[in-house]
Structure 1
Amino acid sequence: MEHIFSLAGLGIALFLFAGCGHVQRQGDTSTGTGIVIHSEKASFYIDTLHTGLENPWGMTWLPEGRFLVTERKGEIWIFDNDQYTGKKLSGFPDVYQRGQGGLMDIQLHPNYAETGWIYVTYAKPGKDGGSTALMRFQLIDNQIDHIETIYQTLPLSAAGIHFGSRITFDKRGYLYFSTGERGIKENAQDLANDMGKIHRLHDDGRIPTDNPFANQPGAKPSIWSYGHRNVQGLTYDAANDVLYATEHGPRGGDELNIIDRGKNYGWPSITYGIDYSGAIISELTEREGMEQPIHYWTPSIATCGLLYYTGDRYPGWKSNLFTGALAGRHMTRIEVINERYIDEEKLLQNIGRVRNIAQSPDGLIYVLTEDPGMVLKLIPVD
């Protein structure tokens, strides 16, 4: 597999750099390995590590240079020192593969060296369809073992949309994962079901006793926040103890939110979008007791994946947020200061449907795309 970024080899010479919003001088090839992209606060080139994926979703790094990439159809691919090994983890259970459903996010336990736990979200099949489940497992060589389903969202549904789902941990070791409302708008406001929520758990699936609805009769005690449509981006800023989420709107109204304990984020009572048919979902964009996004996108860019960058490899990007854009086919860098949106910059315009963005242990940014399905690495240039 060609490892160095090659426009001709991928057949994408026109769309990679066409329409970029910022200066990207194709003639500058000072690295000798690819076209240098000069963005507002960093210069870099793209190293294409692998092509030929279908629907890559999540990625995480194991010790000693290996990393894992999930495919929605239920596969976990193994990379070693940035090269696909030709191997996949074996023993993953069946997934509910319908529409947007399947295997989704993957994250290591914060103390993986001690616990060996790997966490995934996936659409788990059942008698009445499927729903997002949170599972953890350990590895014996490349074999999945000690599987534990630590949370199964309910109710099950035969729908093929709005499963969520991302996973992150905070500095206290609590686990957060997101669920979509499965296409039933009212689910998001109903505390009696798991859909359209962000959930907070202990690492073994136990429910913290200080969760906001833990003692409310009829409410799901795992709920941390509600009123969400379909959160497919979740990241945590440990330095400032801030949980960020990006959420798909309908036609318009994709949101960037700061997630706080017990708050209602409004869907579908308030929205900056309209239905795909053009019908009005709500006349309101604000309502008492419901949170406002710190930023929203109209028209929708179809936000997916979210990274809060903490490394030093791109100094101008430190403490910035990065989100993918499925419909927009780009990556967006977002500046937030004191929890307020300041500005954004489009990067990698027309690269493909950007599904996820992640930071490696050595501080480099990796990008997963669909159509075409690729694993990309951004190499900083001094």
Structure 2
Amino acid sequence: MKKIIIPALLFLLLSVKGQAVPYQVITVADDLNYPWSLAFLPDGSLLVTERTGKLKQFSATGEVTADVAPVLPELYVAAQGGLLEVLVPSAYSQNQQLLISYVCGDANANTVCLATARWQAQQLTDIRQIFKAEPYRKGAAHYGGRMLQLPDGSILLTLGDGFDYREQAQNPVNHLGKIVRLQPDGSVPADNPFIDQPGYASEIYSMGHRNVQGIVWDAASSRVYSHEHGPRGGDELNNIQAGKNYGWPVATRGIDYTGARVSPFRQYPGMVEPIWHWSPSIAPAGLTLYQGELFPAWQGNLFITALAGKALHRLEMVNGKVVSEQLLLTELNSRLRDVRSGPDGALYILTDSASGKLLRLLPAPQQAGD
């Protein structure tokens, strides 16, 4: 697909140091059907999932090099359910194996599944389901589905509370409202926090979550950051630690969609408070840590895409705390689904719609006389 530069989307932003940071937004690809996640392969090409069931590959210059509909076991596409995230593990160069999260089952009984597959000759082969969250539930909302590979090679997979099952986020027997930790083959790491504790699912890494749709590793501080949707307000940014309880629905700043109070508590003993929150809700959907060289002033900043908020949020972090927040790309007036820091130093963003776009955010061209 031909690269399209949109001159109207040229803005001046204030960096953390106060100087102006000009940037441009380039459309790399369009006509994507509800794109959900993107990932980079070692050759610089991109994989993009569409929630409706497609996996597409784009060259670094935006040409479509593959367009496949993987045959995932029991794939269920409805509302928020479908094909979710693709992760390129650290061992990909050796075995060409990907990890794919998706919703499996049917309208009356569905859950989040995790599969491995090999990406060879622009095709997915050897698809194998390695994990299925328990229990099944009805409805088609609050799945989580984001993944992160930790430095030790293990995988964190986020799992939502199923919307109508929010109390289960505090039930340690199951996976609803949890972040689980697995090995790349689906087995349980021997050092998981609850591995030998009776009454706890051995896969659990953390609990008390509503719907985590962003998770990232900060190597400089050895922190895992994640964000999750609140109801009406109470969206959270958290520092995820093994074995901790993050409160939902016992402690929350949000209220129910009916206007009723979810809980009288914003904090609760033994439960971790968020390091940042949003009220009213922005509906955070993607998360990345900027580590490129094109925007030096943004090094170490967190970037969050917002669906309801229709903006890209830049958070300046100092010692694990948010010291400033800036809203970018509001002029697009688009629901933003995912964001990644690319190997070329650019930021890559997916818009959320039936005609979604893959965008690249780059420094603005130097002007004559600069």
Find out whether 1:239 has 2:220 as its counterpart: yes
The count of residues paired between Structure 1 and Structure 2 equals: 356
Structure 1 residue runs without a partner (length 5+) = 7-32
Which stretch of the first structure deviates more once superposed, 234-243 or 93-102? 93-102
Which stretch of the first structure deviates more once superposed, 78-87 or 349-358? 78-87
The alpha-carbon deviation at position 90 of structure 1 amounts to: 4.4
Which position in structure 1 is the counterpart of 2:189?
208
Q: 5 Å matches for 1:218-367?
A: 218-351=199-332, 352-367=334-349
The alpha-carbon deviation at position 65 of structure 1 amounts to: 3.0
Tell me the amino acid that sits aligned with residue 359 of structure 2: L
Judge conservation of contact 2:155–2:184 (CA < 8 Å) in 1. yes
Which position in structure 1 is the counterpart of 2:36?
57
Find out whether 1:377 has 2:360 as its counterpart: yes
The alpha-carbon deviation at position 36 of structure 1 amounts to: 2.6
The alpha-carbon deviation at position 5 of structure 1 amounts to: 2.6
- What's the CA shift string for 1:235-271, capped at 9, x where partnerless? 1112221100010000000000000010000000010
**Alignment partner of 2:14: what SS?**
coil
Tell me the amino acid that sits aligned with residue 121 of structure 1: S
Tell me the amino acid that sits aligned with residue 232 of structure 1: Q
Q: Distance in 1 between matches of 2:28 and 2:296?
A: 23
Which position in structure 2 is the counterpart of 1:21?
none
Find out whether 1:107 has 2:81 as its counterpart: no
Which position in structure 2 is the counterpart of 1:162?
142
Judge conservation of contact 2:2–2:63 (CA < 8 Å) in 1. no
Q: Distance in 2 between matches of 1:88 and 1:79?
A: 9
The alpha-carbon deviation at position 127 of structure 1 amounts to: 8.7
- CA RMSD of superposed structures (Å): 1.6
- What's the CA shift string for 1:78-124, capped at 9, x where partnerless? 11123242631343325211210011111101121112111111001
- What's the CA shift string for 1:307-363, capped at 9, x where partnerless? 011111110110000001100111000011101111110000042111000122222
Judge conservation of contact 1:73–1:102 (CA < 8 Å) in 2. yes
**Alignment partner of 2:57: what SS?**
strand
Which position in structure 1 is the counterpart of 2:113?
133
Find out whether 1:39 has 2:21 as its counterpart: no
Q: Distance in 1 between matches of 2:3 and 2:269?
A: 53
Judge conservation of contact 1:170–1:238 (CA < 8 Å) in 2. no
| Change over 3 Å in CA distance of 1:35–1:186 after alignment to 2 | closer
Tell me the amino acid that sits aligned with residue 50 of structure 2: E
Q: Distance in 2 between matches of 1:350 and 1:189?
A: 40
Judge conservation of contact 1:120–1:136 (CA < 8 Å) in 2. yes
Q: Distance in 2 between matches of 1:338 and 1:375?
A: 32
Judge conservation of contact 1:126–1:156 (CA < 8 Å) in 2. no
Which position in structure 1 is the counterpart of 2:18?
none
**Alignment partner of 1:65: what SS?**
coil
Which position in structure 2 is the counterpart of 1:3?
3
Tell me the amino acid that sits aligned with residue 72 of structure 1: R
**Alignment partner of 1:83: what SS?**
coil
**Alignment partner of 2:253: what SS?**
coil
Tell me the amino acid that sits aligned with residue 360 of structure 2: K
Q: 1:48 aligns with which of 27, 31, 55?
A: 27
Q: 1:116 aligns with which of 88, 96, 107?
A: 96
Q: Distance in 2 between matches of 1:86 and 1:305?
A: 25
Tell me the amino acid that sits aligned with residue 272 of structure 2: E
Q: Distance in 1 between matches of 2:298 and 2:283?
A: 22
Find out whether 1:66 has 2:40 as its counterpart: no
Q: Distance in 1 between matches of 2:9 and 2:143?
A: 37
TM-score (norm 1): 0.90
Judge conservation of contact 1:254–1:298 (CA < 8 Å) in 2. yes
Judge conservation of contact 2:107–2:139 (CA < 8 Å) in 1. no
The alpha-carbon deviation at position 189 of structure 1 amounts to: 0.3
Q: Distance in 1 between matches of 2:68 and 2:89?
A: 18
Q: Distance in 2 between matches of 1:35 and 1:168?
A: 31
TM-score (norm 2): 0.93
Q: Distance in 1 between matches of 2:278 and 2:39?
A: 28
Tell me the amino acid that sits aligned with residue 44 of structure 1: Y
Structure 2 residue runs without a partner (length 5+) = 16-20
Tell me the amino acid that sits aligned with residue 26 of structure 2: D
Which position in structure 1 is the counterpart of 2:126?
146
- What's the CA shift string for 1:39-75, capped at 9, x where partnerless? 1113210001122222110111123232110000111
Which stretch of the first structure deviates more once superposed, 261-270 or 133-142? 133-142
Q: Distance in 2 between matches of 1:353 and 1:91?
A: 26
Q: Distance in 1 between matches of 2:181 and 2:308?
A: 29
Runs in 1 of length 4+ with deviation above 3 angstroms?
A: none
The alpha-carbon deviation at position 185 of structure 1 amounts to: 0.9
Which position in structure 1 is the counterpart of 2:180?
199
